Structures are given as structure tokens and as C-alpha cells.
Amino acid sequence: MTARTTSDYLTLAPGPLAVSAWMDVDQTRVDAFAEVTRHTHWLHTDPARAATESPYGGTVAHGFLVLSFINHAIDSCGLRPTDSPYALNYGADRVRFLAPMPIGTGFRVRDRISLIEASAHAKGLFTRTGHMFEIERTDGNHVACVSAEYLSIWVPA
């Protein structure tokens, strides 16, 4: 990905920007997220119980855990404008949790990122980016699991 300034984003046409590298999500990460958010339901945190009672054959990642990878995906793909020291989270629209993400060997997630909108804002560059997180399943198929539009304001230096 070519480094871009906030001005460069204003000239980009909407469309695909990048695809992040695959990210492994293990039980340790799910448990840490559960503890921090106080969402410790057995479906996420009890592999033994989930193996017998869950329709997914084991624990699954929190949808909000997957959603929280947006900033990591943006940064790891080099999409942060070079002339902005930080961004303000402005919101998220059209968040959908499309499929569960099972935890275990062979499951990982990546983000397909697209530009929906970029415009000048009083506080900096406003961007609306599309994010489609997909799971690589053990059979090699890719399945969409979380979809969202992410709203950011990139503050100028």
C-alpha cells in the first residue's frame, strides 16, 4: 500500500483499499476480552462446556472482539494518513455479526477494507471505511463473519 496523506484520501474514488494479513484468535485472547468487557458467558470462555452444549462444537469469539480489530487492520495495512498523528473514533454504522468465529486450530480472521467516503471536516479528514471480516475455516473456505462501516476523523498534525 502506498503511503497517503489526508489530501490524497480526498481524491480517491470509493472502492477496495487493502486486505489485512490473517490474524489468529485463540482462547487466551477471547478470555482476556471476556474479562475486560465482563462478558464471560460460557459460549466464549468454557471450552469443555461449549464442546458439549454449543451448536458450534466449541467456544466462539465475541463479535465485538472481531469488530475491535478494525484499527489494527487499518494500521497494519498502512492506511493511516502520513500527516495525521491520530484519529478520533466517530462511530460505526451498519454493524452486522454474520457468522460465529469458532476458536481452535485452523480458524483465523482477516479484514477486507474499502473506502466508502472521504471528505473535509472541521476537525480533519472524515473517512467512512467498509470492513468485511472473514474467517478462514478448517476446510479452506472463507466465510464473512463481521461487517461494518467505520467512521473516523483523522486529525492533522
pLDDT digits (tens, 9 = 90+) for 45-99: 999 999 999 999 999 999 999 999 999 999 999 999 999 999 999 999 999 999 9
Q: What sign has the CA pseudo-torsion 63, 17, 5, 91?
A: negative
Q: Give one DSSP letter per residue of 59-125, joined into a string.
A: -B--HHHHHTTHHHHHHHTT-S-TT-SEEEEEEEEEEEE-S--B-STT-EEEEEEEEEEEEEETTEE
What is the distance between the alpha carbons of residues 133 and 75, in angstroms, rounded to a whole number? 15
pTM attached to this predicted model: 0.93
pLDDT at residue 130, rounded to an integer: 98
| pLDDT tens, position by position, 99-110 | 999 997 667 899
The domains of the chain, with CATH numbers, are 6-25+60-155 (3.10.129.10)
pLDDT classification of 136: cutoffs 50, 70, 90: confident
84, 68, 48: which is closest to 131 by C-alpha?
Answer: 68
Mean of the per-residue pLDDT values for the chain? 94
- From the number of C-beta atoms within 10 Å of its C-beta (0-12, 13-18, 19+), residue 154 rates as buried
pLDDT at residue 1, rounded to an integer: 58
Helices and strands in the chain: count of H runs, count of E runs: 6, 6
Residue type for position 69:
F
What is the distance between the alpha carbons of residues 63 and 82, in angstroms, rounded to a whole number? 30
